[in-house]
Amino acid sequence: MRELIAADGAVVPVPDPERLVHLQFRRFAGCPICNLHLQSIVRRHAEIEAAGIREVVVFHSPAEELREYDLPFAVIPDPQKRLYIEYGVQASPRALAHPRAWWPLVRSLARGTVMIVRGREAAPAGTQPHGRLGLPADFLIAPDGRTVASKFGKHAYDQWSVDDLLARSGNWLRMGGYR
């Protein structure tokens, strides 16, 4: 077991001995596309927890930037991208160039602009030491440490939806997983 330190200082065990962990890799604090996706996770967080899943989201931003966001799950700073390297999470120019990323990019920029103007979110830092072209990745980790499902995104908005996550956790339970 490894203990990750969240942006708020909480210790987060991965794997969690009591439940599945949905370990998400996102881009940087304030990433409009990441924020659009995470709002779907926030809206259904109670449902995710009821399914026996703990959300853990990793960003390649420092803790002080991540503390500006009020999210109901563990947010892990990884500014040196050590976890990204360990899990094989990549960056690519195709992150934003893929046509399937364009509509979410437009929607996320519009939403982000409104939220920043209203003072509800901070703008992302002007520069990102590891760039802005990261690809998302999702891992579902069982209490015994096995990765029972994973997805490496092909573009910036290619990640599991909440329904995908719940289906994968249900499949794991049906195949003999435990809660």
Dihedral angle computed from the Cα positions of residues 94, 95, 99 and 100, in that order, rounded to the nearest 10 degrees = 140
Segment holding 44, helix H or strand E? none
pTM over 0.85: no
Find the CATH number of the domain harbouring 43.
Answer: 3.40.30.10
In a domain, 177, yes or no: no
What percentage of the chain carries pLDDT values higher than 90? Answer: 56
Cα separation, 156 vs 153, whole angstroms: 7
| Predicted pLDDT at 114 | 65
In a domain, 178, yes or no: no
Residue-number span of the structural domain to which 120 is assigned: 2-171
What are the residue ranges in the chain where pLDDT is below 70?
96-116, 121-132, 174-179
| Predicted pLDDT at 69 | 85
Structural domains of the chain, count = 1
In a domain, 7, yes or no: yes
In a domain, 87, yes or no: yes
